[in-house]
Amino acid sequence: MPDLIEVNVRQGRYYVEAFCRIQSACWPNESFETAMRRDLERLDGPGLVEAWLDHMEALKTPYPTLRIFWKDRALTFRGMCRALASESGLGTPEAIIGLTDSDPQIVWNRQGAKYRRDDRDVMSAKQVNLNILERQDVETGGVRWLRTSKAPVLDEKGAIGIVGAFDIISMAEAKRLAKVK
């Protein structure tokens, strides 16, 4: 069973293309990129979405701290990886669908307004935003640091959502990234 769920099959191509834009810049994996290019050329509809979900499963091995999520135009979650769903405090991707970063059930809700502001900026600019340094509350009451990248999901009419991915980074890496910005 794929690790990620809930991609609208009709819009699946747009979500796949958005993820590929950030993945190739931040988490390069030549075999993944080659496979996704091949699938984008030959597949459509449910086949493309299934292939994308299967390829993302494979990214867990070289990038164990990689977390992936996607949202619709209203910035409600439409899907995410199981690891992130577990860390959200809700347990499963199914439980988070339809919620936003600001919903009180989600562990990181105190950062929700900032996350949603960033998401809206990415959608309105219709541009990828790479290597955003973010702080996130965790279920144990502590904090972790994230290197996040987001891409707008674009169809012929404009932004219809957002795809994001982040990896969990050390405090030292967070300080280094802060100096670069």
Span 33-51, pLDDT tens digits: 677 677 766 666 666 666 7
Cα 30 from Cα 5, distance rounded (Å): 24
For 76-94, the pLDDT digits (tens) are 998 888 888 888 889 888 8
Residue-range domains of the chain with CATH: 9-180 (3.30.450.20)
Mean pLDDT of the chain: 82
Please name which of 123, 131, 117 lies closest in space to residue 154, comparing C-alpha atoms: 123
What's residue 121's pLDDT? 97
- Residue 64: phi and psi, rounded to 5, are -65, -20
pLDDT tens figures, 139-170: 888 889 999 999 999 888 899 999 999 999 99
pLDDT band at 53 (very low <50, low <70, confident <90, very high): low
The predicted model scores a pTM of: 0.81
Asked whether residue 60 carries a pLDDT value surpassing 50, the answer given is yes
- Residue spans of alpha helices (H) in the chain: 12-26, 30-42, 45-59, 82-87, 93-96, 112-125, 171-180
Q: pLDDT above 90 covers what percent of the chain? A: 35
Is residue 2 very low, low, confident or very high in pLDDT (cuts 50, 70, 90)? very low
pLDDT of the residue at 103: 96
